């Protein structure tokens, strides 16, 4: 879609991929953009693979189907590489943003990625700051570092609203991941 950024989130049930997708849409709408967020899952259990999607643009968005050719792919659980082809349909010039202990070069060598990669150890950030391995707010910071689909500051209010009394530490995780995300241009 011309002028619309399409994002596909890969996670597991309970990791917050759907919540992250919603928060990006709220931030985009607060910036005066049009945005859609929606999940794709059936009767999966906690821990099963889950997809969520965003479309963000300057004009009204009419397509409400799953994102099959994303500009951006965000992977909350790198173990999903062994289950699904997360980069399937990635548009030329797209980026894959991964929660990983590995470097972008290690990911390229192991999985054959030639796209731009964003790598961050969101699990470590979540454990350090949130004291739980839920990486969704950290991955929001990584997303914005990889592609500024919304401004980092635009995510603060939606994150605080969504997480209430633990909103501040989630904002801290968001900002820490933004700082630590390493972007490696594709070949």
Q: Under 8 Å CB-to-CB from 125, ≥6 apart: which residues? A: 135, 138, 173, 176, 177, 180
To 5 degrees, how large is the angle CA 148–CA 149–CA 152?
A: 60
Q: What is the C-alpha to C-alpha distance for residues 23 and 76, in angstroms, rounded to an integer? A: 15
Strand partners, 119: 98, 182
Encoding tokens for residue 7? 């994002």
Encoding tokens for residue 124? 């470590």
Q: How many CA atoms lie within 13 A of 91 on its CB side?
A: 15
Buried b (16+ CB within 10 A) or exposed e, 3-22: ebbbbbbbbbeebbbbbbbb
Contact assessment for residue 125 and residue 176, using Cβ atoms and an 8 Å cutoff: yes
* Residue 135 CA to its chain's centroid (Å): 10
In order along its 187 residues, the chain shows pLDDT tens digits of 468 999 999 998 888 899 999 999 999 999 999 999 988 866 556 677 889 999 999 999 988 888 999 999 999 999 898 888 899 999 999 999 999 999 888 988 888 888 999 999 999 999 999 999 999 999 999 999 999 999 999 999 999 999 999 999 999 999 999 999 999 987 7
pLDDT at 131: 95
To 5 degrees, how large is the angle CA 44–CA 49–CA 153?
A: 115
Q: Which of 61, 55, 70 is nearest to 21 (CA)?
A: 55
Residues 4-184, CATH architecture: 3-Layer(aba) Sandwich (3.40)
Edge-to-edge strand list for the sheet holding 72-75: 34-40, 49-57, 4-12, 72-75, 95-99, 116-120, 182-184
């Amino acid at each position: 879609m011309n002028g619309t950024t399409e994002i596909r989130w890969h996670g597991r049930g309970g990791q917050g991929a759907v919540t992250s997708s919603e928060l990006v849409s709220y931030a985009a709408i607060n910036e005066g953009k049009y945005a859609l967020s929606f999940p794709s899952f059936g009767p999966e259990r906690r821990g099963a693979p889950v997809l969520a999607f965003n479309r963000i643009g300057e004009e009204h968005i009419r397509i409400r189907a799953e994102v099959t050719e994303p500009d951006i792919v965000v992977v909350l659980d790198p173990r999903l590489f062994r289950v699904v082809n997360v980069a399937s349909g990635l548009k030329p010039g797209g980026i894959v943003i991964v929660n990983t202990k590995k470097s972008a070069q290690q990911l390229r060598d192991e999985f054959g990625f030639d796209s731009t990669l964003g790598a961050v150890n969101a699990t470590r950030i979540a454990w350090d700051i949130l004291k739980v391995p839920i990486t969704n707010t950290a991955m929001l910071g990584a997303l914005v570092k990889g592609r500024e689909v919304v401004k980092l500051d635009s995510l603060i209010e939606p994150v605080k609203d969504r997480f209430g009394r633990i909103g501040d530490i989630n904002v801290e995780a968001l900002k820490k991941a933004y700082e630590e995300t390493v972007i490696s241009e594709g070949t």
